[in-house]
């Protein structure tokens, strides 16, 4: 994958002293990157505004937190953490939001509401990419998960990456080997992948994504006690994708990010093929068992993996732009 990191040209010294050689180390020193509290001088209230907006929106619409959590996966895993996910379709390009791989993503209007609140305080300063990441961080807390300190300083991309989604985003029906390889390319190791999939502890899965495990025959790997509930929720072999037909990922604590997911999949109650593989593959099962026993271990690995994901190849410095509206790139005259 071609790096999008900005490399500054070495400046020639105007003094009589010989210029310092432009080594790789020199470039690394000069390359702008993400830092903690990036907006402390330009918009010191930014992170507090985002946090308060997340709390307010979560209080009114509980399922927004699931959306914020999914956003960070779907944006940052596709080549760069640059809010390309939020761009609407144009005459020339399809939005990432409208692809099959993004089925079920919604509630983008609430991200727009957060952006508007930040813009009122600091116009043209805070990127949509940072708002996307920080809303996921604060949404995780709303769901009972750990607080994860995350760096900021991302800038927004100007183009959709809809044509790259299948290259980067693993599908729920792909082999666990493919899933591990895709995340490894971002620097996320096996326990990190197991922890990230713990996000399936919350939210719901549309029947479209799981009926192949029920029809024409029930997948024998499924727990028979759970099958009855799945069939009740998904009575049609070909469900209407627009219908509200879904199964909660975790019937016990559906609104809480916790390690109950791992106990469920060890009991063959995972809804997706990838859930089942996670609990049975020899590379991942030891971590599943450890996370089922220890929520602290789950949270530690989850926080580490989210941090790596959030720092995946961001645009920084003078790359990209700061969008005025998250769903459209700025117009340049």
Q: Tell me the C-alpha distance between 107 and 96, whole Å.
A: 14
Cα-to-chain-centroid distance, residue 91: 27
Sequential DSSP letters for 261-318: HHHHHHTT--SSHHHHHHHHSTTTHHHHHHHHH-HHHHHHHHHHHHHHHHTSS-B-TT
Contact 211, 234 (CB under 8 A): yes
Question: Is 74 annotated in the active site?
Answer: yes
Handedness of CA 229, 232, 233, 237 (dihedral sign): positive
DSSP state of 55: H
Active-site residue, from 61, 74, 206, 333: 74
CA distances 235 to 230, 247, 272, Å, are 8, 11, 17
Active site positions, annotated: 74
């Amino acid at each position: 994958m071609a790096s999008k990191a900005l490399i500054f040209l070495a400046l020639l010294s105007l003094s009589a002293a010989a210029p310092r050689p432009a080594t790789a180390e020199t470039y690394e020193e000069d390359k702008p990157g993400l830092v903690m509290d990036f907006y402390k001088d330009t918009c010191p209230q930014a992170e507090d505004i985002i946090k308060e907006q997340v709390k307010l929106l979560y209080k009114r619409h509980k399922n927004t937190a699931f959306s914020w959590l999914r956003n960070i996966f779907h944006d940052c895993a596709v080549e760069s953490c640059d809010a390309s996910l939020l761009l609407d379709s144009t005459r020339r390009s399809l939005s990432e939001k409208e692809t099959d791989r993004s089925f079920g993503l919604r509630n983008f209007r609430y991200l727009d509401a957060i952006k508007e609140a930040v813009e009122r305080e600091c116009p043209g300063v805070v990127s949509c990419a940072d708002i996307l990441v920080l809303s996921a961080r604060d949404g995780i807390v709303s769901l009972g998960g750990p607080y994860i300190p995350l760096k900021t300083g991302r800038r927004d991309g100007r183009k959709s990456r809809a044509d790259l989604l299948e290259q980067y985003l693993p599908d729920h029906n792909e082999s666990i080997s493919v899933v591990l390889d895709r995340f490894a390319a971002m620097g996320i190791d096996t326990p990190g992948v197991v922890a990230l999939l713990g996000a399936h502890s919350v939210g719901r899965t549309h029947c479209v994504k799981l009926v192949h495990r029920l029809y024409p025959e029930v997948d024998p790997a499924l727990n028979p006690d759970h099958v009855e509930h799945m069939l009740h929720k998904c009575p049609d072999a070909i469900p209407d994708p627009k219908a509200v037909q879904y199964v909660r990922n975790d019937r016990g604590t559906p609104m809480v990010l916790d390690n109950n997911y791992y106990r469920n999949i060890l009991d063959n109650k995972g809804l997706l093929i990838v859930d089942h593989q996670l609990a049975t593959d020899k590379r991942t099962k030891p971590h599943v068992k450890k996370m089922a026993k220890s929520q602290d271990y789950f949270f530690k690995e989850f926080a580490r993996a989210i941090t790596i994901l959030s720092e995946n190849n961001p645009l920084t410095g003078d790359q990209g732009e700061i969008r005025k509206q998250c769903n459209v790139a700025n117009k340049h005259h």
